[in-house]
Structure 1
Amino acid sequence: MQESNAHYGKYRVNETAKIITFKIDHATFTNWDSTEQVRHYIYTGNEIKYVVVSAHRLLIKMA
């Protein structure tokens, strides 16, 4: 199942490590408000792609 979450704020890109860091001011998932989210990304052509793995899914995989 895929969900979407809109958010706004600032971001930093570390091109060497292929990491994008979002400093989120506000999001539709309110538990993301005022947080910093770090994502690994893939850059192809003119697209940046990254995946957010939910904490619930991580717990299931680790069990």
Structure 2
Amino acid sequence: MGIDTERDIEANLQIGPTDQGMVRLFIEAGATEIPMDFDPEEAEDIAEEIMAAARAARSLKKKG
């Protein structure tokens, strides 16, 4: 199972700042809750990776 494997799982993603100056990604899937805290620099790195993946996906979609 990898990143390209489709799954029939619904999840909710919330993103926001914490009162400790961190950026929290909060993932909820059924009874599972996963809070992930990152310092602002790490959050910016993650945002850049998401943007790069979006550009790559967009270019693949145009080819197909």
TM bin, normalised by shorter chain, reads 0.3 to 0.5
TM-score (norm 1): 0.38
TM-score (norm 2): 0.38
Return the index of the structure with the highest Cα Rg.
Answer: 2
Structure 1 or 2: larger helix share? 2
Structure 1 or 2: larger strand share? 1
